[in-house]
Each structure stands twice: as structure tokens, then as C-alpha cells.
A and B are shown apart, each in its own frame.
Chain A
Amino acid sequence: MKQFFAFIRKEFFHVFRDKRTLLIMFGLPVAQIVLFGFALTSEVKDITLTVIDQSHDVNSQQLVSKIKSSSYFVVTEAAPGFNDIAGAFKNGTAKCALIFPANFGSDLQHHGRAPLQIITDGSDPNTAKTVVNYLTAITTAYQQEINPGKPLPYLIIPEPRMLYNEEGNGSLNFIPGVMALVLMIVCTALTSVSVVREKELGTMEILLVSPFQPLMVLIAKAIPYLILSLLNFILILVLAVFVLNVGIKGSIVLLFLESMLFIITCLSFGLMISNTTNSQQTALLLSMMGMMIPTMIFTGFMFPLENMPGVFQVIANVVPSRWYFLIIKAVMLKGLGFKYIWKETLVLLGMTLLLLAIALKNFKTRLS
């Protein structure tokens, strides 16, 4: 047991004396949270809008001032003609254009209907659709405002609600994703590299030629990273709650235990890689290719799994982070208890046992 603690202490020395490891371990979560929280947001704000107003009447000006007052648009009115729209789109001064035909107001008042053209930059289809939705909503609102006494004969008013995330906070979706990603990198990559480093430096030779059980080498290697990963998990949680205002609805204990299970899954994967490679570079590459990219793609926090072709949905099932993502979303955002996530937990547990079994089976008590 004394040997075991000496080993763990030594492992901590390695981590704390290597600035790069420290940076990856604690810089990465902070960077990811900041990036996803503030930079990579899918909300559309400050859309540049150019207006060609050929009617110059009360109605058109009222509508434009409505649009101006919303926080979504920045209006540049002075577009003189149609040809300038293309130019504005090309040099990026406008993302969309609004064209009022001549007699917009009088048509509206006398015929009861008037056309209004919206032109958007289709090279970015997501933004374009959002812009059209915003403008339609503003126009509809204005329409009701000028017809207060005359309600349409039949009117259906949808009242959407976003459950679990009423204010549409985009952070809610990616926090579980970032957690999966960071834990995976720290656990898998750093663990596999730390075992392989002993092989590369030759220290494994001495460790093997010692009474210390080779298997204990692996376990003693995994424990410091388990502890550090749990610290990391807490760091991400704190950042999520206090910086990005993501509330934790479910049990923190359950969240902690489930995360621990996922960390052990990743550690097992890391140990499996370390048993089959002999250089730090290979180990790093394998853990990155083997975990990072599938995690990004198949976890479901960047691209919805439901829209993928069947083959990819099947592949996604073998990616551990996919299940962890479901668990975390359920516990953290929906506040669900264990009875709703036992299936996912079981899948993770099964994966962990399988990976551990492979890792242990491949462990060599000798060189090569």
C-alpha cells in the first residue's frame, strides 16, 4: 500500500511539474466554456439591413422604425437602387434588404393588401431563415397594430414555450457536450500518454523489474487522473453556473457519480490505448482520433443525431460520450432522477467493463 501511495505521489509530481499537462488539463475547460459560451453562439444579432423605400409614406416609415427599434437589426436606409443591393451583399455591408414598392401605403389602405419584398443572403441559409422569421414576426405585429378594431375572422395564435430552457439560453445544450469533451481529452489522452511516456523513457523497464505488481502500475497511473478529472468536472460546473447562468436542476450527487463513471470509462480507454502503443505521439494521435473527433460528431451536442443516416446513428451508439451526454442533459437540465437514466448508465457501465477487460488482457508484464 505504501508503494501505491508513493506511486500516486510521483504521478502528481509529473503533472504539476509539466506546464503543458497543466495547461491542457485546466486551460482547456476554461477555453472551451468561453468559446462555446460567447463566441460560437447560434443566436443572430445586429443584422445589417438595407431599406429601399419607393413609397415614402406613413406605413412604410412606421414599419421601418419598428424594425429599427428591435435589437436584432441595424438599418442602413440609404440604399438608392436595386443594383446597390448586390454590391452591399458582396462587400458585406448588408445581410438583408427590405423593398417597399411605390404606393405601399395607399395599396394597403385602399386594397387591403400590399406586397413587401425581403431579400436575404442565402449563402448562409441558417441566418437567412432566422432573418426572414424575425422580419415576418415584426410585420405581423405591425399589421395587427394598424387593424385594432378589425380582427381577422379566424385567427390561430401559436404560443410556443421552450421547456427546460424558457429563455432560450444556448449554453444549456453545449455545457454537457463540453463536459464530455474535456473529460474525454483529459482522461483518455493524458492517461495514455503518461503510461506510454514511461515506456518511451525506459522507466517502465525498471518498474517491471520490481516487486510492484505491473497491474498496480496501471491503477496507480489512473487514480491521479481520476482525481484531477473530478476537479475538472467541478471547475466546469462552477463556470457553467456562475459564468453562463446554467442552473443545475437535478441532484448534484447523481451528476457527480455519473460523471465519475464516465471518467472511468475514458480512463479504461486510455489504458487500453497505452497498452497497445509504444510512443507518446501514437498514443496522443490515437486518443485524439479515437475519441475527440467521434465525440465532437457523435455526441449530439453539435449535430443532432436524429438527422444522421442510420449507419451513423448505429456508430454513435458505441461512442461513450453520447450516453453521458444524454445522462447529463437529463439530470442537469431536466432534473430527472436515476430511474430515468438507468439504461444509459448501464450502457456506460457495460462499455467500461469491456474496455477495462481489453486493457487488462493486453497488459504486458514484459517488454514488447
Chain B
Amino acid sequence: MNTVVLDHITKHYDQERVLAVNDVSLQVRAGELFGLIGPDGAGKTSLFRILTTLLLPDKGQASVLGYDCVRDYRQIRNKIGYMPGKFSLYQDLTVKENLDFFATLFGSSIGENYTLIKDIYEQIKPFNNRRAGKLSGGMKQKLALCCALIHKPEVLFLDEPTTGVDVVSRKEFWQMLKNLKQQGITILVSTPYMDEAVLCEKIALIQGGNILSVDTPDGIRSKFPVPLYAIRSDNTYQLLTALRKEPGVDSSYAFGESIHITLNEQQTNMAAIQQSMVAKGHTQLSMEQIQPGIEDSFIRLMNQA
């Protein structure tokens, strides 16, 4: 059964001048950990707000747990947990007060669903009496997650929960999401970090309001249609400039210390490219065929679109 359904959703801002979401259709199955992956301004937050009944779509239909996002917004608000992208707790209330307040607001109490938040809450418990505004970034996110979970929601919407959080905290955070998934909660999470995509069961790549592809992370990588190569030399920048002029190279972009390229299939092979580069004076060349990652897929899909 599909817990979240988006059916040809379109959303404009600013009197139709800005297109935020363009004809998006998606399904998220019950119990799935679903990732919405895309850069800033791709339309992730708009989609989240439509699903959490905060925004009305211009066109299309959306439903959560079988309830229509426009008509049945009351029912949806009873059953979901939402953590906005911006830290949205009361900075002048303490950790405990925030948690207490949100628990009561959702007609629950800290005790009632303590098992659900135990693992996360234990980590911030030492700061119970500290004001939320004085917490570190990672702590804030943990508290926000606790507050979103305290009423045992059936669906959890997390809008960029790891943005601005250090690497260690990010890892912890994803571990928590996996534990939550085991409790049967459907989780929708958005992130601009491609490396987090593999941690989801299923992902949707989104760019400029358009969905580029929806699949499992492995599925998306395996759909990469052509061989991908990584080239290194002692001067990455000059190498990139040269590769861009090379007629046999279809696409090339810097990726860490190396350059990822794909070739125009028919006429060229890697040996020819290597010869050409050596002839142009590039030294310490090394190249190998590699497995494409999510980011490679994203860049390819983005360029096609």
C-alpha cells in the first residue's frame, strides 16, 4: 500500500512567476525510508509543505495515509510528524520544556512514547535544562527529531535534517532513522547530500522542480547507460580544460581529485584519449573504469533534462 502519493503536483510562487514543483508524481510505500535528493532550490521543501498540508498545490492531487492533502488536512495533521528544514523549536525554552510542550500539544506525554525516542533522547538528556537556542547544531536536530516523534507519528517528514550538522552527528542521525524505520514508521527525508542517498531504501532525484528519476540507490546507479572513467593527472585543472576540447569526450567534470568522463561510444576508446592527453603534455596520467555513484547519475540526468 502506498502511504504517500503525489499525483501530477504543480506549484508556483509569486503569482505564477516562479515554478517550484513541476508535474511531480511519486509513491512512497508503507514503512519505506524514502529520500528526496536534490540541490538547494530543487523543490524539496515545497513538496514537503504540500504533503504536510501547509501549502496548497496549484494542480494535481496528493494524499498521505489515504487522506487528501487539501480536503482532509485535519486528519493528516493528527498522524504525521514534521521536522522543518529550519530549526523550529522555541529557543528560549529548555530542552525538557520544548519536549513537554510538543508532547502535550499532540495529546501525548513524554512517558507514553518514551521507548520511541529513548535512544535519541538519552544523548541530549544531560542538557535537559539548557535552552534550546544554546544547543549545538547536532543537538538541536536531535531535539527536533524527538519533538517530531514524541506523538508516535505514522509518517515522518524530515526536511534536510542533516544540513549544517557535522559528519559524526550525520552518521548518528541516519542510524537513528534506520532504527525508527524498524518500528514501522514511514519516513520521508530530503537532503542535498548525495552521499546520504545510498542510506535510503528508495530515492527520488529532483532538480528545478522536476523529478529526474525514482528508484533504489542501486537501481539508479545501474541505470547509468555508458561506461564511466576516472582520470587523474598532476594538474587537474589543465586536464579538465583539455578533456572538454577533446571531440571523443561526451561529458567531463571534476570529482574530488579526479575527473569523471564518459565517451561518445561509437568512435573513441580510452586508449585514444590517453594518447591524446600524453601528446598534449599531461604527465602522471592514470585512468580506470569506475562504478558510477548517485552523484554521477544525478549529473548525467540533470544534463539530459
Contact = CB atoms under 8 A, between A and B. Distances in A.
Of listed A2, A17, A212, A366, residue having the most chain B CB within 10 A: A366
A214 to B, nearest CB: 9
B158 to A, nearest CB: 13
B92 A206 contact: no
A322 B74 CA distance: 42
Contacts of A368: 55
B105 A209 contact: no
- Size category, B interface: 20 to 34
A6 B101 contact: yes
B52 A209 contact: yes
B12 to A, nearest CB: 12
A3 B91 CA distance: 20
For the residues of A in contact with B, the DSSP-based class is: helix
B92 A205 contact: no
Contact of A13 (B49, B56, B77, B97): B97
Contacts, number: 76
Contacts of A212: 105-106
Contact of A18 (B73, B82, B92, B148): B92
B88 A201 contact: yes
Contacts of B105: 3, 6-7, 207, 210-212
Contact of A211 (B52, B77, B89): B77
A280 to B, nearest CB: 14
Contact of A14 (B49, B86, B88, B92): B92
B101 A366 contact: no
A367 B48 CA distance: 12
Interface string B256-289: 0000000000000000000000000000000000
A201 B89 CA distance: 8
B49 A206 contact: no
Interface string A190-226: 0000000000011101111111100000000000000
A211 B86 contact: no
A6 B78 contact: no
Contacts of A209: 52-54, 77, 80, 82
A206 B107 contact: no
A365 B56 CA distance: 11
Nearest to B91: A201
A129 to B, nearest CB: 54
Interface in A1-37: 2-3, 6-7, 10, 13-14, 17-18
Contacts of B148: 206
A217 B74 CA distance: 15
Nearest to A366: B54
Interface in A171-205: 201-203, 205
A368 B97 CA distance: 28
B54 A367 contact: yes
Contacts of A205: 54, 82, 84, 88
Interface of A: 2-3, 6-7, 10, 13-14, 17-18, 201-203, 205-212, 365-368
Interface of B: 49, 52-56, 73-74, 77-78, 80, 82, 84, 86-93, 97, 100-102, 104-107, 147-148
Given A6-B105, A202-B86, A208-B53, 16 more contacts: A6-B101, A6-B104, A7-B105, A13-B97, A201-B90, A202-B87, A203-B90, A206-B102, A206-B148, A209-B52, A209-B54, A210-B102, A211-B77, A211-B106, A366-B73, A368-B55
27 contacts: A2-B104, A3-B104, A6-B100, A10-B90, A10-B93, A10-B101, A13-B93, A14-B90, A201-B91, A202-B86, A203-B90, A205-B82, A206-B84, A206-B88, A206-B102, A207-B105, A208-B53, A209-B52, A209-B53, A209-B77, A209-B82, A210-B102, A210-B106, A211-B74, A366-B56, A366-B73, A367-B55
